Amino acid sequence: MIASVPPLSLDIQASLGFNDAMIGALTTIPTVCMAIFALVIPRLVRRHGIGWLTVGGLAAITVALTLRWWSSSWGGVLFLTALLAGVGIAVGAGVTPSFVREWFPERVMRVSSYTTATFMAGAAIAAAVTVPLAQWWGSWPAALTVWAIPAFLATVAWAVVALRRTESADRSEFVMRLPWRSRTAWFLAAFLAVNSVAFYILLAWMAPSYDERGWTQAEGGYLFGFFSLLQVVGAIAIPRITSRLADRRPLFIVLVLISTGVVLLMGVAPEWMTWPVVAVAGIGLGGVFSVGMALLPELATDAHDAAGLTAMALFVAYAAAAVGPLAIGALLDTGVTWTAVFAIAAVFTLAQLIGLGPLQRARAGRGSRAPLGSG
């Protein structure tokens, strides 16, 4: 959904006269929605259940994608669809940890990695295919709108699941538990925040940066699609590896340091081993993010606790991430170089080392469950 826009940024700017800040806003708006709705999702889960809430989120995305058909005649449509899509994506991201904890309590780490990988796979396909579709049809709005078809099919599929699935009977007794006083929860929120800032900077600006440095729009889209595809690999492989380790921290440190190095290379030497460098960045960022998302249900005692921790962590993460694409767009409008942009992304990538705190807590708590409390 979001990943289909950046590869077409040059076409959108040429057609609608958008500057870099406005292009960045198309990524920022849904991220702001994701932050705001993160705090509301647990209450919506209580009222509607995981299944039907997911159906509603997918329906919002379907409507947003359908409206993009008219985006070339009125640029404001793109901002409206970014808003609707942000609501739908916020629902999906917000219910996932509770869904994993309630529906797959014995396979938390594995199912978490699969759900995260699914999100990344969608981004990879959208980024790689949207530009060729726009060139084939001769219409970038048509290429953006076509993604309404899989969104509609997913809505129907989840409606069938919701009709057949009987969820926990104690939803009426749902108690919102936001661990604002928990130091571990804040470390986890900060970890997901810096990861999200780095990712959304790359999401919004990787393809345009290569387009402006000699690549075609299609090549830039393929490159970001490849980056997203390797994120899928990292999201599946890294949690499976770490689940077998007594201490996940050494591998985590290596991933963060290597990811930081290759993000810097993308800015300093974009033509040097481009595809391997982007592959390593994708595996590193995808793997680290997947570990972070798996920590949400892992550190929770039950589905309700997972909902509260997820609400708090994603609110902080997306509120921080929303600033990234817009700020970078504003900096680009003032003449900042692409090298500086990737250096900024690398700073946030390195800051993921703050995730060592939650990993230590998860390691100490294996085999027993205790509320996060204030520790």
DSSP secondary structure string for all residues of 31-45: HHHHHHHHTTHHHHH
- Over the chain, what is the mean pLDDT? 82
Asked if the model's pLDDT at residue 373 lies above 60, the reply is: no
| CATH number, position 271 | 1.20.1250.20
Residue count of the chain: 375
pTM (two decimals): 0.76
Pick from 241, 286, 251: nearest CA to 359: 251
Q: Which of 98-112, 146-160, 303-317, 333-347 has the highest mean pLDDT?
A: 333-347
Assigned domain for 370 exists: no
Q: In the structure, what pLDDT confidence band is assigned to residue 169 with cuts at 50, 70 and 90?
A: very low
Each residue of 282-327: pLDDT tens digit? 999 988 888 887 787 777 776 667 777 878 888 898 889 888 888 8
pLDDT at 275: 93
Contact yes or no for 179/309 (Cβ under 8 A): yes
371 domain residue, yes or no = no
Count: domains in the chain: 1
From residue 262, how far is each of 97, 223, 314 by CA, in Å? 30, 14, 26
Mean pLDDT of 261-290: 91
In this structure, of 43-47, 59-63, 335-339, 371-375, the range with the lowest mean pLDDT score is 371-375
Residue 23 to residue 229: CA distance in whole angstroms: 23
Top-confidence residue, 366 or 114:
114
Residue 339 belongs to some domain of the structure: yes
pLDDT (0 to 100) of residue 259 = 94
Cβ 240 vs Cβ 110: under 8 Å: yes
**HSE-CB of 188 using CA atoms within 13 angstroms:** 34
Nearest in space to 251 (alpha carbons), one of 290, 299, 202: 290
Identify whether 168 is part of a domain. no
Q: What is the average per-residue pLDDT within 321-340?
A: 90
CA distance 54 to 44: 10
Question: Averaged over 246-263, what is the pLDDT?
Answer: 90
How does DSSP assign 180-229, residue by residue?
TT-HHHHHHHHHHHHHHHHHHHHHHHHHHHHHTTT--HHHHHHHHHHHHH
Three-state SS for 240? helix
Question: What type of residue sits at position 255?
Answer: L
DSSP 126: H
pLDDT of residue 176: 58
* pLDDT band (50, 70, 90) for residue 67: very high
**How far is the C-alpha of 339 from the C-alpha of 359, rounded, in Å?**
32
Judged against a pLDDT cut of 80, whether residue 82 lies above it is answered with: yes
Domain membership of residue 279 (yes or no) is: yes
Could you tell me if residue 170 is inside a domain?
Answer: no
pLDDT-based confidence at residue 173 (cuts at 50, 70, 90): low
> Alpha-carbon distance 62 to 147, whole Å?
8
What are the helix and strand counts (H, E) for the chain?
15, 0
Which amino acid is present at 359? Answer: L
**Could you tell me which residue, 41 or 249, shows the higher pLDDT?**
249
Buried b / exposed e along 73-92 (16+ C-beta atoms within 10 A): eeeebbebbbebbbbbbbbb
Residue 243 domain-assigned?
Answer: yes
Give the pLDDT confidence score for residue 370 in this predicted structure. Answer: 47
* Domain membership of residue 210 as a residue range: 6-163+181-365
For residue range 24-52, list pLDDT tens digits in order.
888 788 888 878 877 777 777 777 777 78
pLDDT of 336 reads 92
Residue 290's pLDDT is: 80
Closest CA to 223 of 294, 160, 274: 274
Model pLDDT for residues 344-366, shown as the tens digit of each residue? 999 999 999 998 877 777 666 55
Distance CA 287, CA 292 (A): 9
175 occurs within a structural domain? no
